[in-house]
């Protein structure tokens, strides 16, 4: 397996139609020639002399470079059919002779070694011996010497370092030619402060008043994620993302050089017309580049299909959002039930301080959400592939980008919308006691717990991210196992026959042209979890790391044992995914700034600390009391107050509003506007600082590392020199 | 004059040492050959037979491609010397024979026509005939047919469209080859409202209380620039800038194709070592690209120079900022004088409503500022060129980027710092009556007029921008005129002799290698005026347009008549200036958002309109009263109240603070925090919206226009095909 395959974008080509069209008439002729060669070799084929795992022709010299398989039912040629297990599948094994390889290496402009690299390997830094035991030995890291490469040319064959004609072209090329616990929280736990705070009920009628210290444990847990370090962590991650993407660019440049893709233009391959498009086209139009007539579909013929595809996407999104709304309704309706149930159930009293009705609702809703997401994903994948096909895109590139857009949009909304809801909408528009806002006039809006919404966002993220990862890895590992087992069971009817290598391989799963697409999509969605909400969930990068370590192993096992060998394809970058990663990196700075100021509790605490605190030694003492407004129970409208009558006349709620004795009662007070101004200022300052650092870093770090640039230049210089000398001496 | 010269970056090379080193030994030999040719031609040279303006050799056939001039004092060769005016300057006229042109065209990889372009010219859109009279006739726009071009090759000469050997290479190419041989508001005016408002004095002791309606005219003028449309204009300009830069990219791509620079790599030329560097170097080091020993200066030898250069830049900046501070002090100290003078002078009473002390101060300070800026510029240019030379940069590229960084940093601070002061600092930290803030404990901070700071920013910008443009154009036109007149006067001693064309040209100004640099710098600084403060000064783009129309004419006249013909150089983009333009475009969104919310008066008015207005029909009525806080005159500390006693006990000032009867008197009131929150929210919303649109537009508009891409592809295809066919038939 060529490394280019596992990281850079590889596109498996449609095996036959395309490659023939791509290489042109010559290729077809050469192909016929190759088939003739192979068929003649097949005629005197003796099965018994042959090992089961052999990848060589009967002569033991010529290597099998490609195996074509096709199914034919007509009993025309009984002799050849005998070679197959099920008696229907034909195998054509192809070996590319030297002349064919040489010709098409030139046509494809493949770069081959021309001179041993004379740039010394970088010296290890002075303290590198300390890292010795951890490092890979250089013979493992660089198994073959480095070469300068140049485009292969038949007429200058003697220039290239050809030791052995059989191994000069590596098999992938052959294959291609073939194809914290602290202060104010203790206030909540303090029976003298938290125990004295009578909070307004969290739902109408059913819920009772409650004391603040019942949420003590929950608040302590919340402080783990919601503290001053969150600000620095958010800033740090904004910068880390930039560095990550910059160093990825450098790594990409290095791989580009190592895999000889420096001057490679992938468009050629990608801009090839799709056979489906050609088949559907009746009109022709002149291509201004080749000046040849080419199938063309007028815009008016495409519009109905675009319309169908647009409506399907819109319908899909609507379905998605309505599923999210239904989960919100589930949360709202189930909360009252949980609250009354947990009130009455005696066994739950002991865990009440941690396992609040809010948490129970959040947990059950997140799990439900995760399941709904996975189910919707399954259906939408199929639908979007189908409608992209319906659009009849001209080229593979158009097909890819249309599908990528649809899939990414959908998965983005599917995975992140519930997180966006918890982070930025939940508890923001609840109104205040006596004038709560109601959804569809039935369900009262959700409030966040007294510890803030941040801990709920953390719960939500943990469940969705880990749920996705576990499901994804199991899916990736089990699906091919089951399919392969089933396939083998079905096809092995003549068990007495030799089960040849190519038959074994043929019975494996197909790593289709969308195989890599799913790998990218998974990685990009994971990148979103790591960056977009990292301020609320600092453990996300750790989970991502664990998932990636596992993913590498699962993928390696899968690709080497469960799938047919994929057809290698060249690509000089990860394409449109890079733009998506950059977009997410920029979006993440904004989302983290908003999480710090709106989801977390830091800014109100800081405002209290600097502007409102009256205690000069412990400046945060009194914050809990200050952050809760007073409501007169007598002001509750009909049928919303708890049914049991109590002996107190006011209750408290989280907001900055005027007390009942104020002339503009229950209006926002001055502190509200003060805190809001501080929140907005924080967002502006943080975004500007982070973006400034980001752009400076991105501008300062070169896209191509210095040593790679030198190597590229040296290679070019040497190639020109060698060819020039060669032409002179000819 | 080649168009590539006037727009794309052209670098004149240091004439001799470099180019010889660049081409290597071959060039030196060729050069010797050429000189021999020319000198033999000189020997039988007859002055009388020759026209004064001839650009041909005596035979009338061979064209003079390049004239080298050098001064020698030794009276060695009396015969040759006679050819020159002053008897000291030697002229060596060079003609490049066909073989030499052909050889070096190949070495330089110059692209020459290989086939007439077969891509049809774009059809005119249906309504284009209406634009007919305005359009240039196509024979003027496209004087010669379009060709596909390919890199010139000696061995395939017959492939290229050579009609006439003398005109095949255009003169700019010949010239380049040659070079190788060597190198608002009525309420204020209402006497019932504005006339009743007694404002607190604007300076201590000297100034008197004043009535708001005295600034009536000034406020009306201010409303021209400070109204609701400013918001939309700021957003519009943010988007306009993006479109401008995107279309510039397209234009650049089109020019790149038209001027055959598609595969051009400028680095070659730019990375050549500077002869000054080579002369200063004693150490040698191996170049990893060429594997040859190369002069190298160890870092420790450079550090003292970097240190000197760093200190000089820091000192320059300090000088700049101190000059700005001294202008602020001028404003502060002169304001009291103006205020008391205008109070006493009877003749000024009639213009008082418009010509306020603020305006007088602003005008005089701006003019002073403009003069200081121009003087500082003059000195700093020389200093930065000198210190860049001291740094001994390795290559021309290093030299250019070091100089560009210094000059741009300096000019940016020089031109914009006073505008940033007026926009974001003036009137923001004034304190309130009784507790004003004082600069150096002496000068009271400046307040903005009751119409807001925006109009002052407008004044400042107008004066600096227009002053700079007028001075710049005069400077550009007069300087060469005077110098040339002086030079000609000095050199024309033998008026009886034929004043030959090359002598005339030799006596013109030299368009040095920094000529284009200054043009770029001017354009970029102007771009800053157009974008950074456009919300406050919507006329800036108009002034810039007028300046550019004039600039084009002045430059054309200057380059064709006052300067020696510049040596053409290729470049495929405008280089680092593009990054600077992008940086400014991003900065401008932030500055305009801040100007709208902090400098202008729109946000407080909108907050009043939606949240505080009690008048339901005319919602803005009462705004002026609402925006002014009340101060009790008795609260003035000693020696700050006006000396004359008045019969009123309170005065008003612009701020949102509690009245004197409030328990926390003179603290910020709720409206202050409300307005601040609104301002911050506006900045966040505007920035996010504009950046989102910007990035979407930048991502959607392709960098290379579709037709240019097709042409490039077609050209490549045709070139490969033609060469392939040629090789086959050889």
Helix, strand or coil for residue B296? Answer: strand
Please name the residue of chain B whose CA is at the shortest distance from the CA of residue A591: B688
Please name the residue of chain B whose CA is at the shortest distance from the CA of residue A678: B677
Interface-testing mutation among A288, A657, A662, with chain B (most B C-beta atoms within 10 A): A288
pLDDT at A126: 56
Residues in chain B within 8 Å Cβ distance of A680: 677, 680-681, 683-684
Contact B673 A677 (CB under 8 A): yes
Q: Lowest mean pLDDT: which of A158-167, B174-183, B553-562, B594-603?
A: B174-183
Distance from CA of B76 to the nearest CA of A (A): 45
Q: Is the pLDDT of residue A24 over 50?
A: no
Mean pLDDT of B331-339: 78
Phi, psi of A153 (to 5 degrees): -135, 130
Measure CB to CB from residue A119 to each of B288, B713, B717 and give the nearest one: B288
Q: Is the pLDDT of residue B182 over 60?
A: no
For chain B, the average pLDDT equals 76
Q: Lowest mean pLDDT: which of A163-172, B371-380, B713-722?
A: A163-172
Residues in chain A within 8 Å Cβ distance of B677: 673, 676-677, 680
Contact B681 A680 (CB under 8 A): yes
Measure CB to CB from residue A714 to each of B289, B677, B699 and give the nearest one: B289
Distance from CA of A116 to the nearest CA of B (A): 14
Distance from CA of A257 to the nearest CA of B (A): 15
SS3 content of chain A, % helix, strand, coil (to 5): 60, 10, 30
Q: Does residue A658 or residue A59 have the better pLDDT?
A: A658
Contact B669 A670 (CB under 8 A): yes
Contact A290 B688 (CB under 8 A): no
Torsion of CA A26, A30, A31, A37, to 10 degrees: 170
Please name the residue of chain B whose CA is at the shortest distance from the CA of residue A710: B289
Q: Is the pLDDT of residue A421 over 80?
A: yes
Distance from CA of B175 to the nearest CA of A (A): 26
Q: Is the pLDDT of residue B181 over 70?
A: no
Q: Is the pLDDT of residue B85 over 80?
A: no
Contact A683 B684 (CB under 8 A): yes
Percent of residues, chain B, with pLDDT higher than 70 = 74
Contact A673 B676 (CB under 8 A): yes
Chain A positions touching chain B (beta carbons under 8 Å): 118-119, 288-291, 579, 583, 586, 590, 669-670, 673-674, 676-677, 680-681, 683-684, 687-688, 695, 699, 710, 713-714, 717
Please name the residue of chain B whose CA is at the shortest distance from the CA of residue A119: B288
DSSP string, B487-514: HHHHH---TTS---HHHHHHTSBP--TT
Q: Does residue A298 or residue B711 have the better pLDDT?
A: B711
Q: Residue B289's pLDDT band (boundaries 50, 70, 90)?
A: confident
User: In the sheet where B198-199 sits, what is the strand order?
Assistant: B210-211, B198-199, B650-654, B628-632
Tell me which residue of A725, A728, A722, A153 sits closest to B155, measured CA to CA.
A728
Distance from CA of B186 to the nearest CA of A (A): 30
Measure CB to CB from residue B288 to each of A289, A670, A710 and give the nearest one: A710
- The C-alpha atoms of residue A722 and residue A729 are separated, in whole angstroms, by 11
Please give the model's pTM, rounded to 2 decimal places. Answer: 0.78
Contact B713 A119 (CB under 8 A): no
Q: Is the pLDDT of residue A536 over 60?
A: yes
Contact B673 A669 (CB under 8 A): no
b/e sequence A679-710, b meaning 16+ C-beta within 10 Å: bbbbbbebbeebbeebeeebeeeeebbeebbe
pLDDT at B430: 80
The neighbour count for residue B52, using CB atoms within 10 Å, is 10
Please name the residue of chain A whose CA is at the shortest distance from the CA of residue B670: A670
Distance from CA of B345 to the nearest CA of A (A): 46
Contact A714 B291 (CB under 8 A): yes
Percent of residues, chain B, with pLDDT higher than 90 = 8
Q: Is the pLDDT of residue A44 over 50?
A: no
Q: Is the pLDDT of residue B524 over 60?
A: yes
Residues in chain A within 8 Å Cβ distance of B717: 289-290
**Tens of pLDDT along A647-705?**
788 888 888 888 888 888 888 888 899 999 999 999 999 999 999 999 899 888 998 89
Residues in chain B within 8 Å Cβ distance of A670: 669-670, 673
Measure CB to CB from residue B119 to each of A288, A583, A695 and give the nearest one: A288
Helix, strand or coil for residue B632? Answer: strand
Q: Is the pLDDT of residue A136 over 70?
A: no
Contact A118 B680 (CB under 8 A): no
Q: Is the pLDDT of residue A315 over 70?
A: yes
Question: Which of A430-444, B150-164, B504-518, B681-695 is most confident?
Answer: B681-695
A56 contacts A64 by C-beta, under 8 angstroms: yes
DSSP string, B74-128: ----HHHHTTSSSSSEEEEEE---HHHHHHHHHHTT-EEEEEE--SPPPPPPTTG
Residues in chain B within 8 Å Cβ distance of A717: 289-290
Q: Residue A137's pLDDT band (boundaries 50, 70, 90)?
A: low
Mean pLDDT of A90-114: 74
Longest dimension (CA), chain B: 109
Q: Lowest mean pLDDT: which of A501-510, B102-111, B382-391?
A: B102-111
Residues in chain A within 8 Å Cβ distance of B118: 291
Measuring CA to CA, how many Å separate B147 from each of A490, B106, B160, B162, B718? 64, 18, 11, 12, 11
Phi, psi of B705 (to 5 degrees): -60, 150
Helix, strand or coil for residue A277? Answer: helix
Q: Tell me the count of A-B CB pairs closer than 8 A.
A: 59
Question: Residue A574 has which token pair?
Answer: 């990860």
Q: Is the pLDDT of residue A403 over 80?
A: yes
Distance from CA of A118 to the nearest CA of B (A): 9
Chain B positions touching chain A (beta carbons under 8 Å): 118-119, 288-291, 579, 583, 586, 590, 669-670, 673-674, 676-677, 680-681, 683-684, 687-688, 695, 699, 710, 713-714, 717
**Tens of pLDDT along A147-179?**
777 767 777 677 777 766 666 666 666 665 655
Contact A683 B688 (CB under 8 A): no
Phi, psi of B21 (to 5 degrees): -65, -35
Q: Which residue has tokens 């450079």?
A: B302
Contact A717 B289 (CB under 8 A): yes
Residues in chain B within 8 Å Cβ distance of A688: 590
Interface-testing mutation among A680, A681, A707, A716, with chain B (most B C-beta atoms within 10 A): A680
pLDDT at A544: 92
**Tens of pLDDT along A596-627?**
888 888 888 888 888 888 877 777 777 888 88
Distance from CA of B272 to the nearest CA of A (A): 14
Mean pLDDT of B240-257: 90
Measure CB to CB from residue B717 to each of A289, A590, A687 and give the nearest one: A289
pLDDT at A104: 72
Interface-testing mutation among B677, B693, B723, with chain A (most A C-beta atoms within 10 A): B677
Q: Is the pLDDT of residue B59 over 90?
A: no
Question: Residue A577 has which token pair?
Answer: 């995914």
pLDDT at A348: 62
Residues in chain B within 8 Å Cβ distance of A681: 680
- The C-alpha atoms of residue B41 and residue B59 are separated, in whole angstroms, by 9
Q: Is the pLDDT of residue B37 over 50?
A: no
Q: Is the pLDDT of residue A118 over 60?
A: yes
Q: Is the pLDDT of residue B677 over 90?
A: yes
Distance from CA of B526 to the nearest CA of A (A): 23
Query: Can you tell me the ipTM of this complex?
Result: 0.76
Interface-testing mutation among B287, B424, B680, with chain A (most A C-beta atoms within 10 A): B680
Distance from CA of A224 to the nearest CA of B (A): 29
Interface-testing mutation among A117, A588, A670, A709, with chain B (most B C-beta atoms within 10 A): A670
pLDDT at B3: 33
């Amino acid at each position: 397996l060529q490394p280019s395959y596992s990281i850079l974008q590889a596109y498996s080509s449609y095996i036959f139609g395309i490659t023939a069209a791509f290489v042109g008439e010559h290729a077809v002729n050469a192909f016929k020639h190759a088939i003739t060669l192979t068929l003649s070799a097949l005629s005197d084929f003796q099965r018994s002399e042959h090992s089961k795992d052999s990848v060589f022709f009967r002569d033991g010299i010529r290597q099998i470079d490609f195996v074509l398989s096709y199914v034919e039912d007509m009993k025309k040629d009984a002799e050849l059919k005998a070679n197959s297990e099920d008696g229907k599948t034909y195998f054509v094994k192809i070996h590319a002779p030297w002349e064919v390889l040489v010709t098409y290496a030139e046509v494809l402009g493949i770069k081959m070694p021309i001179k041993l690299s004379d740039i010394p390997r970088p010296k290890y830094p002075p303290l590198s011996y300390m890292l010795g035991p951890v490092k890979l030995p250089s013979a493992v890291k660089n198994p073959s010497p480095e070469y300068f490469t140049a485009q292969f040319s038949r007429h200058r064959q003697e220039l290239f370092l050809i030791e052995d004609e059989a191994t000069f072209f590596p098999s992938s090329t052959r294959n291609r030619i073939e194809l914290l616990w602290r202060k104010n929280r203790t206030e909540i736990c303090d029976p003298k402060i938290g125990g004295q705070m009578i909070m307004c009920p969290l739902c109408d009628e059913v819920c009772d008043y409650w004391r603040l210290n019942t949420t003590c444990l929950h608040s302590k847990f919340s402080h783990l994620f919601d503290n001053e370090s969150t600000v620095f962590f958010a800033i740090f991650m904004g910068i880390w993302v930039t560095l990550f993407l910059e160093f990825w660019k450098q790594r990409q440049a290095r791989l580009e050089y190592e895999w000889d893709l420096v001057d490679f233009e992938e468009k050629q391959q990608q801009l090839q017309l799709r056979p489906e498009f050609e088949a559907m086209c009746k009109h022709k139009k002149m291509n201004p580049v080749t000046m040849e007539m080419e199938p063309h579909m007028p815009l008016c013929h495409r519009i109905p299909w675009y319309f169908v595809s647009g409506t399907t996407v819109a319908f899909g999104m609507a379905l998605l959002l309505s599923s999210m709304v239904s989960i919100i309704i589930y949360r709202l309706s189930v909360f009252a039930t949980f609250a009354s149930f947990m009130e009455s159930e005696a066994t739950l009293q002991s865990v009440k301080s941690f396992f609040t009705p809010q948490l129970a609702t959040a947990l059950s809703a997140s799990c439900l959400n995760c399941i709904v997401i996975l189910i919707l994903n399954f259906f939408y994948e199929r639908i979007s592939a189908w409608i992209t096909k319906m659009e009849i895109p001209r080229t593979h590139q158009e097909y890819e980008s249309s599908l990528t857009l649809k899939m990414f949009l959908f998965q983005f909304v599917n995975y992140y919308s519930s997180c966006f809801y918890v982070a930025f909408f939940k508890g923001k528009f609840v109104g205040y006691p006596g004038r709560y806002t109601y959804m569809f006039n039935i369900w009262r809006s959700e409030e966040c717990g007294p510890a803030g919404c941040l801990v709920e966002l953390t719960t939500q993220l943990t469940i969705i991210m880990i749920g996705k990862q576990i499901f994804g890895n199991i899916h990736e590992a089990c699906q091919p196992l089951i399919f392969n087992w089933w396939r083998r069971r079905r096809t092995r009817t003549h068990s007495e026959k030799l089960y040849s290598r190519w038959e074994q391989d043929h019975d494996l799963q197909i790593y289709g042209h969308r195989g890599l697409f799913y790998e990218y999509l998974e990685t990009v969605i994971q990148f979103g979890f790591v960056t977009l909400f990292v301020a609320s969930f600092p453990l996300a990068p750790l989970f991502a790391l664990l998932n990636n370590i596992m993913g590498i192993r699962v993928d390696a096992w899968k690709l080497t044992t469960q799938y047919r060998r994929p057809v290698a394809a060249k690509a000089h970058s990860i394409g449109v995914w890079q733009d998506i990663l950059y977009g997410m990196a920029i979006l993440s700075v904004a989302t983290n700034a908003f999480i710090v100021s709106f989801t977390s509790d830091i800014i109100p605490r800081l405002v209290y600390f600097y502007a409102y605190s009256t205690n000069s030694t412990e400046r945060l003492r009194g914050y809990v009391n200050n952050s809760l407004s007073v409501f007169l129970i007598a002001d509750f409208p009909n049928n919303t107050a708890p049914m049991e009558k109590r002996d107190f006349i006011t209750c408290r709620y989280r907001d900055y509003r005027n007390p009942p004795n104020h002339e503009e009662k229950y209006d926002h007070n001055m502190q509200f506007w003060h805190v809001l101004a501080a929140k907005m200022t924080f967002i502006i300052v943080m975004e500007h600082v982070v973006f400034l650092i980001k752009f400076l870093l991105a501008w300062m770090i070169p896209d191509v590392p210095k040593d790679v640039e030198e190597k590229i230049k040296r290679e070019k210089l040497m190639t020109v020199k060698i060819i020039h000398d060669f032409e002179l001496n000819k």
